[in-house]
Amino acid sequence: MSSSVSPTNVRFDEDSLWVELSDGRTIGVPLAWFPRLLRGTAQQREQVRITSRGLHWDGLDEDISVAGLLRGLGDQSTSNEPFAA
């Protein structure tokens, strides 16, 4: 499904992650879906590496795939880390 779609830009607002895709769509998801991004600073969030398959933040140890976003999936880590909303 998403093999031909790649992220082209990432931005944030106070509550959401916005990912622009190569096919013209923009996906917006709540930051609460990704606790490490939610807890991160604006400066840490800006340090994203965009690849053909998704997004990666070294400093926050976060990886988000386009395929997962298109399926409506949030954080898929196995730990149940508590986070502050």
Residue 14 near residue 2, CB atoms below 8 Å:
no
Q: Give how far Cα 9 sits from Cα of 12, 20, 59, Å.
A: 10, 5, 19
Q: Give me the pLDDT at residue 1, please.
A: 43
| CA–CA dist 11, 9 (Å, integer) | 7
The CATH-assigned architecture of domain 7-70 is: 2-Layer Sandwich (3.30)
pLDDT tens digit sequence for 62-79: 999 999 999 998 887 754
> What pLDDT score does 3 carry?
59
Q: What is the pTM assigned to this prediction?
A: 0.83
Question: In the chain, which residues have pLDDT < 50?
Answer: 1-2, 79-85
Which sequence spans correspond to the domains of the chain?
Answer: 7-70
